[in-house]
Chains A and B, each alone.
Chain A
Amino acid sequence: MSAYRQPVSTFWWLHQWSYLLFVLRELSSVFVAWFVVYLLLAVSAIADGPAAYQDFVAWSGGGWVLVLNVVALAFVLLHAVTWFALAPKAMVVPHVPPWVVLVGHYLAWAVLSAAVAWLVLR
């Protein structure tokens, strides 16, 4: 017996919206990595003194870095939102409806972001 192995098409991920979304989410890891690098560069610039920091800010505001960061932000948001959407599936808390778990995650996110913003902008 020689069964026929159905080939996986190269563009399988375009066949369905959910597959595309899945591939985009996988891709988002590259941008998460970029943000880490960017953050390290920022830290190093701050450590090198005000002048270096000014240069860093100017570099960040210019052409491709700005575009890259906007795209990266979109991907990171996609990652965060889809990640949160999974949370109620992974964390099944007795007597707590799934949407509460979801809202809880967003609340925690908001609180943390506010705390960071307060620290930085104070």
Chain B
Amino acid sequence: MARKRTTITMEVTRFRPGEDSEPTLQSYEVPLRKEWAVLDGLNHIKDHLDGTLSYRWSCRMGICGSCGMTVNGKPQLSCATFLVDYAPGPVRVEPLRNFPVIRDLVVDISDFMTKLPKVKPWLIHEGETPEGEFLQTPQEMDEYKKYSMCINCMLCYSACPVYALEPEFLGPAAIALGQRYNLDSRDDGDRRDVLASAEGVWACTFVGECSTACPKGVDPAGAIQRYKLTAAVAALKDFLLPRGARR
């Protein structure tokens, strides 16, 4: 007789530096409820089964970017990925790939935090700031809007084989955020020195997995491709035109 399953097995990575030499998997049985995200399963473990499990979370609504994990091999926001979609299980929850593991499911993202300021992710405006607002039509906003949607969740870095092999690579989100300002009609900044460097767009060989992994539709792969063309055209202009005629 087929009875509806009421629980699901979660296999969770455990790693405590000093105590474990490498990560291991630990299994827990958690209730399988229609509404439960993978994160609810982890919270159940933490609250009722094993208080020593560590992971990051905050908003539980897919906007703070804290809760990225590898769920059954794919980078996901654990608060926006649901247990029922993995039934009957088991569902395997591991830390995000391509980052050092600090503990259990917590990874070290300081590499991204040092790279982010390099692309100058702020508005650079030459000339006077207007008394009121800068005018910007909805069409002008559409130019950069999707690149401004990045929640810094790091799923794209986790999906990117170039980042895995070449840790110097600025990476999808940082480049997309540079492009976000480049394409803003209010911005006059020049980010070419960073974006068009060897660690910038040219390191990308277009795997495209970053855009597939992105939960917010940012399309970092598109941002990178687009900037490659911009950078190539700019380099060509530098080569062909006398200094004064460039812009």
Contacts and interface: CB of A to CB of B under 8 A. Distances in A.
Interface in A75-93: 82, 86, 89-92
Nearest to A95: B139
A17 to B, nearest CB: 10
With most chain B CB atoms within 10 A of its CB, the pick from A3, A4, A86 is A4
A2 B18 contact: yes
Interface in B200-247: 205-209, 212, 219, 221-222, 225-226, 228-229
Interface stretch (B59-67, B96-104, B122-130): B96-104
Nearest to A2: B17
Contact of B165 (A8, A18, A91): A8
A22 B228 contact: no
A95 B206 CA distance: 25
Given A89-B222, A89-B225, A6 B205 contact: no
Nearest to A86: B225
A22 B191 CA distance: 28
A121 interface: no
Interface residues on B, range: 20 to 34
A8 B225 contact: no
Nearest to B15: A4
B131 interface: no
B101 A4 contact: yes
B100 A5 contact: yes
Interface in B147-183: 161, 164-165
Contacts of A89: 219, 221-222, 225-226
Given A4-B22, A12-B161, A89-B222, A18 B101 contact: no
A3 B226 CA distance: 36
Interface string A52-90: 000000000000000000000000000000100010011
With most chain A CB atoms within 10 A of its CB, the pick from B22, B23, B165, B229 is B229
Interface in A5-61: 5-6, 8, 12-13, 15-16, 18-19, 22, 25-26
A119 interface: no
Contacts of A91: 226, 229
A1 B226 contact: no
A22 B205 contact: yes
Interface in B66-80: 73
Contacts of B229: 90-91
A80 to B, nearest CB: 14
Contacts of B18: 2
Given A3-B17, A15-B73, A91-B226, 5 more contacts: A4-B100, A5-B101, A12-B164, A19-B161, A89-B222
A-B interface, 6 closest residue pairs, ranked by CB to CB distance from nearest: A3-B100, A90-B225, A89-B225, A4-B101, A90-B229, A89-B222
Interface of B: 15, 17-18, 22-23, 73, 95, 97-102, 108, 161, 164-165, 205-209, 212, 219, 221-222, 225-226, 228-229
